[in-house]
Structure 1
Amino acid sequence: METRDTFISEFRGETIGTVSNESSSEELFQNQTLRPILKLQNDLFIESFQNFIGKYKNEFYTFSPDKKMQFIENAIQRDIKFRNALKGMVIGLFTIEEYREYIKNSSNLNKRMMNMLIERLKSQVQLLEQ
């Protein structure tokens, strides 16, 4: 497992965001683990969301910008199957130690993960055009 963990850590890259002595364990996990994974997986998230739109709600492309933002949020918060697929894309790039840390507080870390992913997709809504 050491080889896998070393590869994953190096592949993902450096911490993104500020880490200090005052940072909570959730903040540390967010900046050291979640942010680099979300950045690395960005193109996959875009492709996955475009697939989601095509499968379920092709009318997304006709929505106003505000309605598109709401749709992104609702899709990730309410479609459990889609949400779990997105979580899997992130969790699959955890090291063993990160996974152990994640399971201690998965509920709060899932909220952080999904909120960051929602904001990431919203900020790139132009890439979701047909």
Structure 2
Amino acid sequence: MNNEERQMPERPVVDTQPTAVSVAEQFQNQTLRPVLKLLDASLMTYWLHHLPKRKTPFDRFSRPEKLAHIERAIREDTKLRLTLVGMVLGQFTPAEWSTFKANEAELTRRLLALLIQRLQSHVDS
């Protein structure tokens, strides 16, 4: 079975403004957001699996502390960051991968911001 025959799960549709100007913004809206929405449960499962390994008393943190911890962990913990980014990159088609490589620095920055937002959205009020 070659890569083109492999069945990928259908990506959810994400409502975004159709007036994206840059390639990075278009890629963010057409690829990154739908992939992150598709992987939401998997990303959250990995995050929850990660916490006990770091002996983090996350459930005892206040909401602002939880939000700050998520951002800090993704930015500073290389293994966590690379695993989460790898989960997303693994969903790319060959054409999406080409676009990502051509704009890697900007798209990685956007991807990390979206990952942080996605995990923070699960923090209770």
Normalised by the size of structure 1, how large is the TM-score? 0.86
Cross-structure match for 1:2: 4
Cross-structure match for 1:56: 54
Q: For residues 14 and 62 of structure 1, what CA distance do their matches in structure 2 show?
A: 35
1:1-130 alignment to 2 at 5 Å?
A: 1-4=3-6, 7-8=7-8, 11-14=10-13, 16-20=15-19, 23-126=21-124
Shift of 1:12: 1.4
Amino acid at match of 1:32: Q
Shift of 1:16: 3.9
Q: For residues 85 and 11 of structure 1, what CA distance do their matches in structure 2 show?
A: 22
Shift of 1:110: 0.7
Shift of 1:15: 5.1
On the 8 A contact 2:24/2:107 being kept in 1, the answer is yes
What is the aligned-residue RMSD (CA, Å)? 1.6
Amino acid at match of 2:63: P
Shift of 1:58: 3.0
Q: Deviations over 1:6-40 (max 9, x none)?
A: x44x71143541222x5210011001100000000
Gaps of 5+ in 2: none
Greater helix content = 1
In the comparison of the two structures, how many residue pairs are matched?
122
Amino acid at match of 1:54: P
Q: Deviations over 1:48-83 (max 9, x none)?
A: 110111110331111111111110000101101110
Stretches (4+) displaced over 2 A: 1-4, 13-16
Amino acid at match of 1:19: P
